[in-house]
Amino acid sequence: MKNNIFKIFLNNEIYRYGTTELLNFETQMERYFTREYKQWLNNKESPETYGLNSFSGEISKIETRDISVSHYDEEYFLYKSFLDKDYMAYTMGYFGATKESSKLNDISLEQAQANKYKLIVERANIEDGQTILDLGCGYGGLSKYLLATFPNIKVIGINPSVVQVNHIRNVLLQENNEFDNSRFRIIQAFFDDIDASIFEDDYFDRVISIGLLEHVTNIDLLQNKISRILKQGGKCLHHCIVACDTLPGFLNSEDTLMGEYYPGAHIWPYNEPQRHDVHLHFLESWFINGLNYWKTLDEWHRRFWETIDQLYPEYMTLEEVDKWNKYFSLCKAMFRPNNGTSYGNGQYLYEKR
Ligand SMILES: C[S@@+](CC[C@H](N)C(=O)[O-])C[C@H]1O[C@@H](n2cnc3c(N)ncnc32)[C@H](O)[C@@H]1O
């Protein structure tokens, strides 16, 4: 069965994971991004220089935000086929590569996702008994980790994606005792549209976002809104994809191939979220080596191909297989140059003033 499918793909120039053709394609893309990063090495200009201002406008662009989130509303079974089984996290796992050492630990994707949550818990000083906002909660991975780790923690998740929220309601709430309604609540909405008063002022001990800032244009307005719902002394941690230097071509996704997948999105330079010290006090930030994301994407890519006969032809067209195959290759090629030191993830910790 799989062999017949592979023949169809080959006839349509769709090369599967691990083939020489696909590896050559990824190498070419890596060379392209390596040149791009070299061209902008040490460019510390602010995004304003290139017409993007993280202190103005809407939290996320109204005209593109629905299309951007529709990426998460693609078929549920597709994400189930490649994401980790424990948390269904759709962001990097932490395999241990640091800026100093690009060595990756030989651990499972599931363990790497748990390691990311552990790191966030440590850096944000999350403790039992706190109330946490999981902002842009995806399939609820962080919420699941926190509820299972801390018996007295309370979590509220916010997410506009129907498919992801359905997973939380139909799978997590049904199958996991931790998700009882005295400890967990899910709100299906854009944070932008939520009236902060529904939480009462000074509600949360911690606000954590993983993979949200890429969707946010006005970080200042976001921080303002978060400051209203944080308790005095409360903390906020944002985790997002960043470039070490300012890459003008990456500031607006519409200028790159990524616009097809995430219109209205931004790759901020590492320094940008540090400038947001107005509504919340900026405390500390960490760069996470991009090889962690490369390895995560490579494992997603491998799992996607491992289950391809369950996806094609029943649920996916040839065009969709081609699109997703290229998506994995493209993203991998961005994170790999210079051993993950040019493009990776940033974590930013703030405290309520
Ligand atoms: C890259 S995914 C990450 C999901 C999850 N945090 C994880 O690590 O798996 C980004 C998430 O942010 C959500 N999101 C995007 N824009 C948002 C907004 N304006 N308000 C709240 N959530 C948003 C998306 O629906 C999606 O669940």
Contact residues for 233 (Cβ-Cβ < 8 A; gap 6+): 351, 352
Atom of ligand 1 nearest to the CA of 90: 9
> CA–CA separation, 238 vs 248, rounded Å?
22
CB 154 within 8 Å of CB 204:
no
CB 334 within 8 Å of CB 81:
no
Q: Tell me whether residue 259 is exposed, middle or buried, using C-beta atoms within 10 angstroms of its C-beta: 0 to 12, 13 to 18, 19 or more.
A: middle
Q: Where are the domains of the chain?
A: 2-352
> CA–CA separation, 290 vs 241, rounded Å?
9
Model pLDDT, residue 201: 63
Model pLDDT, residue 176: 87
261 Cβ closer than 6 Å to some ligand 1 atom: no
Instruction: Give 165 Cα–ligand 1 centroid separation in angstroms.
Output: 11
User: Nearest-5° angle of CA 178, CA 87, CA 15?
Assistant: 160
192 Cβ closer than 6 Å to some ligand 1 atom: yes
Q: What are the DSSP calls for 282-318, one per residue?
A: EEEEEEE-THHHHHHHHHHHHHHHHTHHHHTTTT--H
Rounded to two decimals, what is the model's pTM?
A: 0.96
Q: Considering only CA atoms, give the Rg of the chain.
A: 20
> CA–CA separation, 240 vs 209, rounded Å?
8
Q: What are the DSSP calls for 53-107, one per residue?
A: -TTSS-SS-HHHHHHHHHTTTS-HHHHHHHS-TTT---S----S--SS--PPP--
Instruction: Give 91 Cα–ligand 1 centroid separation in angstroms.
Output: 10
Q: At which residue do the structure tokens 């978060």 appear? A: 226
Instruction: Give 125 Cα–ligand 1 centroid separation in angstroms.
Output: 22
Q: Ligand 1: which of 72, 86, 293 to mutate, most ligand atoms within 8 Å of CB? A: 72
CA atoms within 13 Å, Cβ hemisphere of 334: 22
Q: Tell me whether residue 82 is exposed, middle or buried, using C-beta atoms within 10 angstroms of its C-beta: 0 to 12, 13 to 18, 19 or more.
A: buried
CB 350 within 8 Å of CB 302:
no
Q: Which two tokens stand for residue 6?
A: 């592979």
Instruction: Give 216 Cα–ligand 1 centroid separation in angstroms.
Output: 10
| Closest residue by CA, ligand 1 atom 24 | 136
Model pLDDT, residue 265: 85
How many CB atoms are located within 10 Å of the residue 16 CB?
18
> CA–CA separation, 334 vs 203, rounded Å?
39
Helix (H, G, I), strand (E, B) or coil at 228: helix
Q: Which two tokens stand for residue 251?
A: 């500031």
> CA–CA separation, 261 vs 267, rounded Å?
14
Note down pLDDT in tens along the chain; length 353 residues. 788 999 999 999 999 999 999 999 999 999 999 999 999 999 999 999 999 999 999 999 888 788 778 778 778 899 999 999 999 999 999 999 998 999 999 999 999 999 999 999 999 999 999 999 999 999 999 999 999 999 999 999 999 999 999 999 999 999 988 998 899 999 999 999 998 888 876 699 999 999 999 999 999 999 999 999 999 999 999 999 999 999 999 998 887 777 677 777 899 999 999 999 999 999 999 999 999 999 999 999 999 999 999 999 999 999 999 999 999 999 999 999 999 999 999 999 999 98
The hierarchical CATH code for the domain 2-352 is 3.40.50.150
168 Cβ closer than 6 Å to some ligand 1 atom: no
Model pLDDT, residue 64: 78
Q: What type of residue sits at position 72?
A: Y
Q: What are the DSSP calls for 1-68, one per residue?
A: -HHHHHHHHHHTT-PPTT-HHHHHHHHHHHHHHHHHHHHTTT----GGGGT--TTSS-SS-HHHHHHH
